[in-house]
Amino acid sequence: MRQDRSMRTPRGFTLIEVLIAMAITAFVSVLSYQALSTALTGIESVRAESERLHEINRAFNVLSRDIRQMTNRPVRDEFGQLASAVLGGPLARDPLRLTRAGWHNSTGAPRSTLQRVAYRLEDDRLLRLSYPVLDRTTAIEPTETVLVDRVERFEVRFLPTIKSLEVDRNQTIDRRFWQENWLSEVGFTDKIMEPPAALEVRLSLEDWGELERLYVMPAFQ
């Protein structure tokens, strides 16, 4: 009597079928890993760009706050020489130095609310230097804060009068009256210069290129 086919023992997989199944599984696993790796790399790249953008914005926010709170108070430097409230440029010690108001004093320490700050490019980093007193001695050192790194260039230009801030119909600023330096003339160390009417800041970064900001000083707003 012939055995019913439905009662037969199921046939197992052949070696070739097993190898094919393993190959398909491995291929799918590789594709899944590559997709996951690409997704994770993309997420990490977005996170890094977001953190970098936050760092750049924070640097400009600090700079903007200092400029908005600029006050026309000259100081004595560590050599006893009188320095204007705003100084800077390639011929100066730093691209920008200024006296600012609004120095928060949460502890009620016996000090002024005015503060002398400076901006300096050092080892591809933009530094903010803040001094504990306005009129210094050689023993007083500033507090250095790194604002942003991977900086190629940091420049500040100065506009003497607000009337020179001309913009044509294409919204292009006329830079003929802008000065690269804002400091006393040689031989007139005690000559006080009035603050400029405006500042133009150029920050060149390795990854973001050149960024520009234009600031009108508080007295001219």
Confidence at residue 186, expressed as pLDDT on a 0 to 100 scale: 45
Which residues lie closer than 8 Å to 64 by C-beta, 6 or more apart?
213, 215
88 against 106, higher pLDDT: 88
Amino acid at 153: R
pLDDT digits (tens, 9 = 90+) for 13-36: 576 765 666 767 766 676 666 766
Place of tokens 């790249």: 45
Strand partners, 76: 82
Confidence at residue 69, expressed as pLDDT on a 0 to 100 scale: 94
Strand partners, 119: 96, 128
Confidence at residue 38, expressed as pLDDT on a 0 to 100 scale: 73
Confidence at residue 80, expressed as pLDDT on a 0 to 100 scale: 84
Contact 99, 71 (CB under 8 A): yes
pLDDT-based confidence at residue 172 (cuts at 50, 70, 90): low
pLDDT digits (tens, 9 = 90+) for 77-90: 888 888 899 999 99
Confidence at residue 61, expressed as pLDDT on a 0 to 100 scale: 95
CATH number attached to the domain at 58-220: 3.10.610.10
Residue 187 has pLDDT above 50, yes or no: no
- Give burial (CB, 10 Å; 0-12/13-18/19+) of 60: middle
**What percent of the chain is modeled with pLDDT above 70?**
71
pLDDT-based confidence at residue 193 (cuts at 50, 70, 90): confident
179 three-state secondary structure: strand
Residue range 62-91: average pLDDT?
A: 91
Q: Which structure tokens are listed for 2?
A: 């012939």
The least confident of 54-63, 136-145, 179-188, 201-210 is 179-188
Hey, where are the domains in the chain? 58-220
Residue range 199-204: average pLDDT?
A: 95
Which residues lie closer than 8 Å to 152 by C-beta, 6 or more apart?
124, 204, 205, 206
How far is residue 197 from each of residues 98, 120, 156, 207, 220, measured CA to CA in Å?
Answer: 14, 22, 13, 31, 6
How far is residue 132 from each of residues 35, 48, 139, measured CA to CA in Å?
Answer: 54, 34, 12
Confidence at residue 113, expressed as pLDDT on a 0 to 100 scale: 84
